[in-house]
């Protein structure tokens, strides 16, 4: 189930990312098997942005 218009909003955000009008700050990349390290890194502070968890 999704909210009305959510597909259009997501498409708009994707376009902004594709055209570099919206940039995502990724603080770190972590494999799923090492999720504990990702959590500890953010708890320790000093990282700005999002954690990218890879499969």
2-37 residue pLDDT tens: 677 789 999 999 999 999 999 888 998 999 999 999
pLDDT, residue 1, reads 58
pLDDT, residue 32, reads 95
By C-alpha distance, which of 17, 2, 6 is closest to 50?
17
By C-alpha distance, which of 25, 43, 24 is closest to 35?
43
pLDDT, residue 13, reads 92
């Amino acid at each position: 189930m999704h909210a009305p218009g959510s597909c259009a909003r997501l498409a708009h955000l994707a376009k902004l990312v594709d055209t570099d009008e919206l940039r995502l700050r990724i603080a770190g990349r972590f494999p799923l098997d090492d999720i504990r390290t990702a959590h500890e890194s953010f708890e320790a502070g000093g990282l700005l942005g999002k954690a990218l968890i890879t499969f």
